[in-house]
Chain A
Amino acid sequence: MSDATESWETIAGCKINVLRGGRGAPLLFLHGARGAGVWLPFFKALSEHFEVIVPEHPGFGRSDMPEWLDNVGDLANFYLEFLQRLGLREVNLVGTSLGGWIAADLAVRNSSALRSLTLVAAAGIHVPGAHKGDLFLWTPEQLVRNLFFDQALAEAMLKQTPDEDERKRQAKNALTLAKLTWQPRLYDPNLRKWLHRIDRPALIVWGDSDKLIPPVYGPAFRDLIPGAKLLMIRDCGHLPHVEKTAELANAIVKFIEEATR
């Protein structure tokens, strides 16, 4: 983690953990259900071009579990306040999975602090008949296997034995995930109605072998956000930032360069 610095921010009475690294235009990364708190190779790659800011959401990891947290809209408002309090402007917002849902909801509410929006395997909408995987009924092993196309990566992850603190964080993350996404499962019926409000350059990214949120959701998001581009990554599951780190990082760098030229 030598490339990143850690700090704590208190917003709306909720203390959260924030990692930062790199220099350049700000890039705010909103993590998915498995949390953050570790400076991944993906962040390192992006930090060669941007100042990368990676908070742990309220209710996740080492961040507080605030009384007010009921739904994803609460987190969208929280991060609007976060941007304001930290004085961040012209922000490149990147969200994966649950974080993609928060990012889309935030951009619908108020995009004035944003320069671009990247949604990676984002939750938040429902496409009739396109069923998501039931991550709450999968065993821990099925979950890990279903997250990756490359089963060697799944094997490696399954070999890791989390320590007591990590298990506690995982249980906390699972609880907050259920609170936010159990019903309606992984979406907000009101979000799709307003995605047309997003008035920033948008990139949608999906793994072509995503078993949690199937790839058909990629074109669905693209069609709902004016001018959005879609990138399908081959041989990739639900976590492109882990499974195809360089490919995704390069695509985001290129997209932001073109969008802001």
Chain B
Amino acid sequence: MKFYMIHLMPFADLDLSYDKHYNSAWVTLPNSYYDPQKGAKLYNRYIDELVLADELGFDGVCCNEHHQNAYGLMPIPGVIAGALVRETKRCQVAVLGRALPLLTYPLSVAEEYAMLDNISNGRLIAGFVRGIGAEYHSTGVNPAESHDRFHEAHDLILQAWSRPGPFAFEGKYYHFQYVNTWPRPVQQPHPPVWIPSQGSRETIEWASHPSRRYTYLQTFSPVDQLARFMAMYQQQAQKYGYQASPQQLGWATPVYVSDSDESALREARPHIEAFYNKFLRMPVEMLLPPGYLSLTSMAAVTDKIRSGPAAGGYTIEDLSAKGMIICGGPDSVVRQLETYQKQVGFGKLIAMTQFGTLPHDLTVKSMELFAREVMPRLRHIGEEQPPVRVHAAE
């Protein structure tokens, strides 16, 4: 198994009583709730935590993009990634990812990622996402165009990296006479591509296509949903005529390790409950604007979402039972991850080792325990599967 640390960089000093006046920490929560003095300290603390992950032997560190909210302070993730490619020495650096449909000039992502891949000398992982629904309220981009813009921007970026320029790109949303991206990426033909998602059949069919075989990440979902979507990827790959490697399947989830199960639960409780109940809180209208999902997917999820993470009211016991946090002493964390890995078959764990209001000392303690006591015991599972035996005439 490969281990990555993802940071959301929340505004951990948020006044959690905001929800007496506002129904979400996104889009419409006044930015007067943000204190720049505290924010300046948080940014530097969070970068230190990501750099620590490199020193502790994680395989990679991850940042991502969200806009106008207290949940994640990286509207321009390339700023953080730019710091990380210099401050880390060994691990991969993933941007998970840029929200392509929000851009009028997606070639900026081809450029930005190529720069990061050059400066890191080939350690970049290129994440592409659509952004969550709230982003469409914040940026004004039409959610009904989200899927088409995503696919078109993706094709444009991949071509910009792999086709000799200049060439013309003729799309519906993106039309350029001269595509001629400088610099070109170090990793050829292009950096590895990861697709984080809350889970949809359309995304899985697309990501698992033999021409792509992108790593699919299921983010912050209960284990039963994780299992469903991972199985969907594996079955889809089989339909396409190949066997998906566990390394094509990743799970992003909060992780907290302490000396014992009891202390882990006690220490993580207020912080993970703040993460799900306060930072992630939003009404379904904000999360799923019309068109963000296809009509079929929308019908399938709307009712679930109304009672899902964005609805709040979680306790750490609920979350732990659903696998929405992996929490415990080292032995029990190893056991949980082994069990889930066996059930689900993922080969990459994207551990969110800081969440909500979790302070620096606990974040570091948990990361050190995880790196020392957990990672070595799970390294051997979830690696490449042996090639499928072809049933040929003997």
Contact = CB atoms under 8 A, between A and B. Distances in A.
B298 interface: yes
A137 B285 contact: yes
Contact of B299 (A171, A178, A179, A182): A171
Contacts of B141: 183
A197 interface: no
Given A137-B137, A137-B285, A183-B140, A178 B295 contact: no
Nearest to B298: A171
A185 B140 CA distance: 8
B23 to A, nearest CB: 9
A183 B145 CA distance: 11
Contacts of B295: 168, 171-172, 175
A184 to B, nearest CB: 8
B286 interface: yes
A177 B283 CA distance: 20
B290 interface: yes
B165 interface: no
B144 A175 contact: yes
B286 A137 contact: yes
Contacts of A183: 140-142
Nearest to A180: B144
B291 A179 contact: yes
Given A168-B295, A171-B299, A182-B143, A136 B283 contact: no
A178 B137 contact: no
B289 interface: yes
A63 B295 CA distance: 15
Nearest to A143: B285
Contacts, number: 49
Contacts of A167: 299
Nearest to A185: B140
Contacts of A137: 27-28, 137, 283, 285-286
Interface in A143-175: 167-168, 171-172, 174-175
Contacts of B144: 175-176, 178-179, 182
Contacts of B145: 179
Interface string B265-291: 000000000000000000101100111
Contact of A139 (B27, B136, B283, B299): B283
Nearest to B286: A137
A138 interface: yes
Interface in B275-327: 283, 285-286, 289-291, 295, 298-299
Interface in B135-166: 136-137, 140-145
Given A137-B137, A182-B143, A182-B144, A174 B290 contact: yes
Nearest to A138: B285
B289 A178 contact: yes
A185 B145 CA distance: 15
A60 to B, nearest CB: 13
**Among A136, A138, A139, A182, which residue has the most Cβ atoms of chain B within 10 A?**
A182
A182 B285 contact: no
Contacts of B285: 136-139
Contacts of B137: 136-137
Nearest to A181: B142
Contact of B140 (A172, A176, A179, A182): A182
B345 to A, nearest CB: 34
A178 B142 contact: yes
18 contacts: A137-B28, A137-B137, A137-B286, A139-B283, A172-B295, A174-B290, A175-B144, A175-B290, A175-B291, A176-B144, A178-B143, A178-B290, A179-B142, A179-B145, A182-B144, A182-B289, A183-B140, A185-B140
Interface of B: 27-28, 136-137, 140-145, 283, 285-286, 289-291, 295, 298-299
Given A171-B299, A175-B291, A178-B143, 5 more contacts: A137-B286, A167-B299, A171-B290, A182-B136, A182-B291
